[in-house]
Chain A
């Protein structure tokens, strides 16, 4: 059911393996992953713990390098990039959302959101205006000058989503984004992702244990023992209306 897109996929992995070495013993975490995520897709990655979800996410997120195989983000082969270039790629093409929010505690919401733009050298005025716009878009009106400690879990996660969005990335990578949230807030945060995907056309890759969340995406990739176990497309008549 994916729409035919002529340009390069948002994510493509070719025979990706990752072996962690502890002393002389190697522990294979990924044993040859081939996946493709088209632009604008909303994909869930599921699987039991130890199946290699986080490892795969780190590789796609350009935070780590595979032992073998290729990771191609938005048409760019990561193998060809040095540390500096990988940083630039993360800054321009990727946005991260984590289970533990990973906000900088001493900075206010808006300052946290500004961080990727500071790195990019965007002038302060533009930076502030854009960050405020994105904060408002994720429903955080009037929370710009609050610090993470003054916000609820759901609000903190929305600050993190805003931080990922502000850079206008090609791909948002979310690692168990609702793992620390109650069911009501989980719903709100997932709705947020759905809106982002629909509204901005941002490709989203979400790792989750929660099948309800997975059901709100377009496709589920299941991993098992470092391999793709199965892939299923979600059939929906009324596409991602609040179920």
Chain B
């Protein structure tokens, strides 16, 4: 039966190809969408997991999160004292963050420069280790811990241990233009990836004191607050927000998660409706193609009836054709959707990570690996087949009910 269906489809190559294309596109979009958005969610979850849900980030209200704000409150040492006094807070780490261009054998690499007490690093980024050398000691203003990606750039010269790293730093308040700076690479961090939406691998960690000297000011970029227990995060956040009113921004991983999920949710709905519409159009296309095919093959149906094909056999034959269209479309859709999901993952990754978050200037985007669950693959292979078969029902029924005598006379 399927062999006959296959031959019938081959006989109408172009029309079949177009019909199949419709299903392919529809199912590919839906597949890519689900795979990349679940990849995004997994990525975010991974980020949160690495960072720990017990960390709050305090930033000045003016800045990326509320552009146009006229608020001039700046975070300083007295805020550390206050934050540490809140019940449940076990530590508060101030940090400076700048964007930087590193000169690597003539090529310029974008990076973030973060000045922070180095003891905070393993607390903030769980499992972060040093690959070579060691983390600079407290107060060492000439050494730095270098992210893995900077030590091993995609293009440009690798940076070895104890090598001088020269860079020009941008984004220092009160300084016009870039500031030249050089540090010694005393430690190279192991490959880590993104956490708290900052790409650790593209970051140079200098001592807090060195960053303070660069800033020429007692004001920090932000403060990481470590809470003793995830259950207390909301309470602590509430306390801080009440205390500062609108002067600072408190960012919790949970908040980021929900705001990003909000965006991806909208995106999913939007792209999902495109996919659904295109699948619907494809289904109507199958109805149309099958109907025309039934009409064109009226005589053939007459022959089948004369030969003694039973109504349900004729119906089955046309349904097989429709289902086969669906099967081919589903497989092509799986392949196309697979490719498309990586493209979409890149788009969503730019959206989720990007330069918005914590890294300051050079925070890299999050890499999103689309997730293909078994259910997703099974669904994307069966759903188009089901749709196509349903689309074939009416034309197939018409074929089975044709009058043999009339059909045989049909020219």
Contact = CB atoms under 8 A, between A and B. Distances in A.
A and B: interacting chains: yes
Interface string B294-315: 0000011011111111111100
A84 B405 contact: no
Q: Is the interface of A mostly helix, strand, loop or mixed?
A: helix
Given A87-B310, A90-B308, A167-B308, A106 B303 contact: no
A94 interface: yes
B8 to A, nearest CB: 7
B404 A88 contact: no
A241 interface: no
Q: Is the interface of B mostly helix, strand, loop or mixed?
A: helix
A32 B200 CA distance: 97
A212 interface: no
Nearest to A164: B307
B15 interface: no
B205 to A, nearest CB: 71
Interface stretch (A3-11, A39-47, A58-66, A182-190): A58-66
Interface residues of B, number: 23
B214 interface: no
Q: Which of A84, A91, A104 has the most CB of B within 10 A?
A: A104
A63 B404 contact: yes
Given A58-B405, A64-B405, A102 B308 contact: no
Contacts, number: 67
Contacts of B10: 106
B7 A102 contact: no
B161 interface: no
A88 B308 contact: yes
Given A63-B405, A64-B404, A119-B313, A90 B7 contact: no
Contact of A91 (B7, B11, B300, B308): B308
A102 B310 contact: no
Contact of A106 (B11, B302, B305, B308): B11
B408 interface: yes
A98 interface: yes
A102 B11 contact: no
Given A87-B311, A106-B7, A115 B305 contact: no
A154 interface: no
- 6 tightest A-B CB contacts, nearest first: A91-B308, A90-B308, A87-B310, A63-B404, A106-B11, A96-B306
Interface of B: 1, 4, 7-8, 10-11, 299-300, 302-313, 404-405, 408
